[in-house]
Structure 1
Amino acid sequence: MFTLKILIVEDDSVSALLLQRALEKNAHQIIGIADSGEKALEILDENRADIVMMDINLAGELDGIKTTEIINEKFDIPVVYLSASSDAETLNKVVGTNPSAYVIKPFNIRELNMVIELAIFKDRKEKELQKLNNELEEKVKQRTAELYEANKELTKALEKEREINELKSRIVLNVSHGFKTPLTSILSSAQLLQIYAEKDHPFKTKITKHAFKIENSVRALNNLLTSVLFFGKADENKLEFKPKKIFTGAFVKDVIDTVNAGIDNEVTIRTEIGDMPKTITSDPELVYQVLENLLSNAVKYSKEGKHVDFHMKIENGQLEAIVKDKGIGIPKSEQGQLFDRFFRAKNVGIVEGSGLGLSIVKKCLEVLKGSIEFESEQDKGTTFRVTIPVK
């Protein structure tokens, strides 16, 4: 049993004396005996107590319940009520003051000691819990403040990144546009050289050969710049769906002619067009990008002298296109990255490319609200299936 400093508040002197002797017998120190609430508060102002034994009925204006309310607010000391009454009305009155315990007179000394120990234990645990709650609240406030500051810094960083990206996009767009004009001039000059070389000229063969190389190189660079410009628009959210009437026959021929013009490995495109109306309505530029990139890739990664199958039809308001090759295929471990920008599989070897074609296809299909699926096996080829809503 530990020693406690106890204040007894009891207006019956005999009961107070008996209580004092019982407590002192258990080595507790009595700091005072008060017969009123007013006197109890005066004693507590001058002396520290560990616990207060409080009679409910006291002399003076303050009864035990009101006195306990003041002690709770001012001193935060545990209070054990003493009362000869245990009726429901009395119990209801004391509950509101959150007493540490309640002892019925006449009390049993052993029971009294146990009640005091429990009251002290309860008080300490409540204070420990309150301390933990306070520490937790402080940590939450501190963490909230840190998160607020971190969020401010993150917002600044994101804003800075957005500004940098916008500047980068503008630079890329301006530089790309700047390249377009000289490239067009170079391409025209290369084509003129080929025309001039058709006449009798001692270097006719060499002129034709090098003019052809220039033309192919310019076309490749022009395609790269077109891809860069495309993503410049996409990154600035300027890529919009602009539906127009498309004459299907001329449109498909244009796509095939463009791809055939860039073939340098003697690969042929076998075209099969199913039921197609004379005209459809969609965004011609985006649909063109999808078909041209898929066909160009299929040709590029096909083996010398092989063929690429291209099937297209309209069914249930959907443009369905299939591009199938028997080329190098895509390694299974890399198929998840297939539509990432600048991604090129490890097995492409010396075949040139930017790694932008399929990411352009994916972006166009997002705007067109279309879909794409593929099957591929390394060294056996790849098949792409595209579906695009049309009217």
Structure 2
Amino acid sequence: MNRELINILLVEDNCRDAELFQDILEMSQESHESQAWNVTHVMRLAEALVQLDRTPVQVILLDLSLPDSQGLQTLVTLREKAPTLPIVVLTGLNDEHLAITAVREGAQDYLVKGLVSGGTITRSMFYAIERKKNEIAMKSCLEQERELREIKSRFISMLSHELRNPLTTILASAHLMEKLSKELSEQKKGEMNRKIKESAGRMNKILDDLLVLWHQESPEPTPFKPSWFDLPQFCQKLVAEFQIQLDHQCSQGTHSIHLIFVSRVKSYPVYLDLNLLEQILTNLLSNAIKYSPNGGKVEFELIADSHQVIFRIQDSGIGIPPWECDRLFTSFYRASNTEGISGTGLGLSIVKNAVEVQGGTIQVNSEVSIGSTFTVTLPFRVNSVLMDPSNCSRPL
């Protein structure tokens, strides 16, 4: 029968005591069919610290008085080195105050030499290991709860801010149109009507993103519903829709964005999930435009071969601090240099999920004040002949 091996680090400078403890452990081992232990003995704190780097240890038996360290500082130093390991203190001092202080400093138990038996030591070790496991699990739960509270707080703050601004615009425009309907020119009415529609569209986008996120977080996996469609045609249509928005922004005097679409293939039928692909490209293009507040180029490149398709979207915007790139795809997370630019922190989380559902990958390269490049790679099936529109579940 296989026995669970417990590696014990015995830190004891008294050779007689060390031999006694090892003899006690060896004898008590015979009565434990499910566990076996291996004892490594060191005499100095420095040796213990080195040993912890060399071999895995499940529990430490520690004498507080060593040649190179005395008292509770010995415990503190070991606990700082190995915060997740249970430590049982062994001492010749039957001092209740010291015992309580040692437990407060992180010891799992406190045993007085000369008053322990094999059963006492082994029980203490097993209890110490289990208590430490429970302590770590409790800390993990508390940390998760704290993170959840922070996420909820950020979510409420974000939602309040992102919905209040367009709602204020809608209410103000509607109020002016109602009170000053006769005084307003048709052009002014048209501008206000456009502001109402744009603000409503922005609110609808936020709610759509939240709905997508809710589906992602649900136990049911995100559905994957591929269909046949022509990829360059789909991309061109998407770019044309963005160009209409950009032309309007330019007419309002905002910074000009030059959107460039380059396709390395012509008519190219693929078998992908149209809805998920739209989520990916819409969010990436929107971000590239939004985070280029001073204008410039946004390049959208499409590359395809017989095995995969690559979408590369590059902007010349504010860029992303390198230490924050790993957190970009976390829900509600926004880079520290996005202050003053509206956003929910949901887009890249949605993109990552939509990419992974289709078995793809996403990479980001960015430099602050230079710009960012997002590269999405998706595997797909390609038809060898021109696509038959009748095979499309959602024709373009």
TM-score relative to the length of structure 2: 0.51
Local SS of the residue matching 2:223:
coil
* Mapped pair 1:297 → 2:287: yes
What is aligned with 1:317?
Answer: 307
For 1:218 and 1:364, the matched residues in 2 are separated by 25
8 Å CA contact retained: 1:303, 1:327: yes
Structure 2 CA distance, aligned partners of 1:321 and 1:253? Answer: 13
Counterpart for residue 122 of structure 2 = 137
Alignment of 1:221 onto 2:203: yes
Q: CA deviation at 1:239?
A: 0.7
Cα distance change on mapping 1:128 and 1:363 into 2, 3 Å? closer
* Residue of 181, 185, 197 corresponding to 1:203: 185
Rounded to whole Å, the distance in 2 between the matches of 1:249 and 1:231 is 28
Q: Which amino acid aligns with 2:374?
A: F
Shift of 1:333: 3.1
Instruction: Quote the offset at 1:149 in angstroms.
Output: 7.4
Distance in 2, Cα, partners of 1:125 & 1:356: 59
Distance 1:149 1:331 in 2: 38
Q: Which amino acid aligns with 1:230?
A: V
Which of 242, 260, 269 is matched with 2:225 structurally? Answer: 242
Cα separation, partners in 2 of 1:345 and 1:262, compared to 1, 3 Å = farther
Higher relative contact order (CA 8 A, sep 6+): 2
Paired residue type of 1:338: L
2: distance between equivalents of 1:367 and 1:151? 33
Assess if the C-alpha contact under 8 Å between 1:216 and 1:262 holds in 2.
Answer: no
SS of residue matched to 2:222: coil
SS of the equivalent of 1:241 reads coil
CA distance in 2, matches of 1:128, 1:141: 16
Provide the C-alpha distance between the structure 1 equivalents of 2:19 and 2:300, rounded to a whole number of angstroms: 79
The one of 331, 337, 343 equivalent to 1:347 is 337
| Counterpart AA for 1:321 | F
Distance 1:149 1:274, change over 3 A: closer
**Structure-2 change in CA distance of 1:339 and 1:140 (3 Å):** same
User: After superposition, what is the alpha-carbon deviation per residue over 1:170-190, rounded to whole angstroms, capped at 9, x for unaligned?
Assistant: xx9xx9xxx9xxx9xx9xxx9
- RMSD across aligned C-alpha pairs, in angstroms? 3.9
Distance 2:21 2:328 in 1: 59
The verdict on how the C-alpha distance between 1:322 and 1:153 changes in structure 2, with shifts beyond 3 A counting, is closer
Q: Distance in 2 between matches of 1:314 and 1:227?
A: 28
The counterpart of 2:367, out of the listed 359, 377, 380, is: 377
Report the Cα distance in structure 1 between the residues aligned to 2:226 and 2:196, rounded to whole angstroms: 36
Structure 1 residues 303-312 or 352-361, which shifts more?
303-312
Q: Deviations over 1:7-45 (max 9, x none)?
A: xxxxxxxxxxxxxxxxxxxxxxxxxxxxxxxxxxxxxxx
User: Contact 1:276/1:313 (CA < 8 Å) preserved in 2?
Assistant: no
Check 1:352–1:262 CA distance in 2 against 1; reply closer, same or farther (3 A cut).
Answer: farther
Aligned equivalent of 1:255: 238
Aligned equivalents of 1:273, 1:372: Cα separation in 2:
19
Matches within 5 A, 1:37-186: 134=118, 135-143=120-128, 146=131
Identical columns (%): 30
Instruction: Give the corresponding residue for 1:282.
Output: 272
Q: 2: distance between equivalents of 1:129 and 1:374?
A: 56
**Which among 291, 296, 308 is matched to residue 298 of structure 2?**
308
1:333 alignment counterpart:
323
User: Can you list the C-alpha shifts for 1:250-301, whole angstroms capped at 9, x where unaligned?
Assistant: 4223422443354434423111111144421011111111111111111111
For residue 139 of structure 1, give the secondary structure of its aligned residue in structure 2: helix
User: SS state of the match for residue 337, structure 2?
Assistant: helix
Counterpart CA distance in 1 for 2:314 and 2:295 is 15
CA contact (8 A) 2:232 2:265 kept: no
**Residues 142 and 330 of structure 1, relative CA distance in 2, 3 Å threshold:** closer
Structure 2 runs not aligned, ≥5 long: 1-16, 27-117, 382-396
How many Å apart are 1:247 and its aligned residue? 2.7
CA 1:298–1:145 in 2, change beyond 3 Å: closer, same or farther? closer
Distance 2:267 2:323 in 1: 40
For the 8 Å contact 2:315–2:373, the answer to whether it is kept is yes
Evaluate the alpha carbon distance shift between residue 235 and residue 387 of structure 1 in structure 2; reply closer, same or farther with a 3 A threshold.
Answer: same
**CA separation of 1:128/1:251 partners in 2, compared to 1, >3 Å: closer, same or farther?**
closer
